[in-house]
Structure 1
Amino acid sequence: MSFTDQLRHDAKPIFQAIFNHPFVKGIGEGDLPKEAVAHYVKANAEYLHAFMNVYGIAISKCSDREDIAFFKENIEFVLNSEIHPHHNLCAYIETPYEDLQGYPLPPTADHYIKHMKTHAHEGTLGEILAVLLPCPWTYLEIGDYLMEHVQPTPDHPFYEWITFYVNDEIKATTNQLRKKLDAWAETASPREKKAMKDAFIKSCQLEWAFWEMAYRLETWPTSSLKEVTSHA
């Protein structure tokens, strides 16, 4: 069993929880609260900016031109292509994408970004690969899951979103990240393998938490703190 096969095996309950999450199920059913969709797009727009930043940090740690080219191509993909599923969500809520950018991050998204950047700045290239992999991998499997269970037609409200995440570029990115991480793991020490596994599993957990954050309209507890202060 390869290193990434083992990671997927260990993360199986988290992947299943993502498939079963009401936000993901709502995508499949074509019915989601518009406030939750807006909350998701606001946070994910900022998250994708951070994702590109981490790709940039990965480039700074590369010694191989092929790896540099890979991360550069993925920055361009996120920058130019990953806005398409956002536009599908924005059409559903009848709100221009531009109106949902530049918002402060909710706690979970803030934590996820800091988690990625900590491993990127302080860890090895192997840790960067591990911390990034759950994002494309979970979305690829969400797309596959929804295609199988929903079999959406072009009139489905989220048809473009679902089909985007089963396209060849998402599959290629996931497979290449897996291949690079498996190759890195072959010469990694036990300590580094543990760091890579911890980074991967936590990113999987935060992928689930990101859906939960959006669905529950998570915000910072300002109102609650004011209430506590007023009773002090």
Structure 2
Amino acid sequence: MSFSTQLRKESDVIFQGIFKHPFVDGLGKGELPKEALIHYVKADFEYLNAFINIYGLAIAKSDTREDMQYFQEKIGFILNSEIHPHNNLCQVAGVNYNDLKGFPLPPTADHYVGHMKSTAQQGSMGELLAALLPCPWTYLDIGHYLKDSFNPGPEHPFYEWITFYAKQETASVTTELRDRLDRWAETVGEIEKEKAKQAFIKSCQLEYAFWEMAYTQEKWPFTMVTEEV
């Protein structure tokens, strides 16, 4: 059993919980509050900016130009492709995508970003890959789960979102990250792999928490108002 397959098996309870989360279920049913969609897009835009930062740190940790080029291409995927599912949610919510950019991260998303950045800065390349992997992997599985469970047609409000994450291009991101993590795991000891495993599981937990954050429209306890001088 490959290292990534083992990680997926041990975290299956979290994946199953994500599939059953009311936000994900609402995507399948085509029924979600406008406010939850907006909250999700605001947070996810900034989260993906952080994801780009992590790819940049991966480039800094890379020893070969092939690795550097790989992570550079993944930055391009986020910048040029992942705007499409965001636009789908904005269309359903009836808002302009550009109006949802640049907002502070809610507590859970802020914690998730902090986890990824600290892991990338202080950990090995394997820990970095393990911290990143749950995001594309859970979304890939969500896309297939919703497609199989609800069989959405083009008239479905979230058809573009679901089909985007169920398509081959998204699957390739997950497969490539898994392959890199598995190759790394073959060269290190059990202590290093355990650290990567913990990074992976924590990211899985935070993926679930991210959906909960969006559905409940989580906010910081106090709203701070800056007085003009």
Partner secondary structure for residue 180 of structure 1: helix
What's 1:159 paired with? Answer: 159
Whole-angstrom CA distance in 2 between matches of 1:67 and 1:171: 19
- The one-letter code sitting in structure 2 at the alignment partner of 1:109 is A
Q: Which amino acid aligns with 1:35?
A: E
Partner of residue 213, structure 1: 213
Question: Using the alignment, how far apart are the partners of 1:176 and 1:65 within structure 2?
Answer: 16
The ranges of structure 1 where at least 4 consecutive aligned residues each deviate by more than 3 angstroms after the TM superposition are: none
The aligned length equals 224
Structure 1 gaps, min length 5: 224-232
- Matched ranges for 1:76-95 at <5 A: 76-95=76-95
Distance 1:139 1:162 in 2: 9
Deviations 1:49-96 (A, max 9, x none): 000000000000001222111111100000111000000000001000
Of all paired residues, the percent bearing the same amino acid is 61
Give the match for residue 141 of structure 1.
141
Q: Secondary structure at the match of 2:220?
A: coil
Alignment of 1:100 with 2:103, yes or no, is: no
Summarize deviations over 1:86-133 as a string: whole Å, max 9, x none.
Answer: 000000010000111111110000000000000110011111110000
How do 1:64-83 residues align onto structure 2 when only pairs under 5 Å count?
A: 64-83=64-83
TM-score by length of 2: 0.96
The yes-or-no answer on 1:190 pairing with 2:170 is: no
AA matched with 1:147: K
Amino acid aligned to 1:91: Q
Deviation at 1:167, TM superposition (A): 1.6
Other-structure match for 1:169 = 169
The alignment's TM-score, normalised by the length of structure 1, stands at 0.95
Question: 1:178 Cα shift?
Answer: 0.3
CA RMSD of aligned residues (A): 1.0
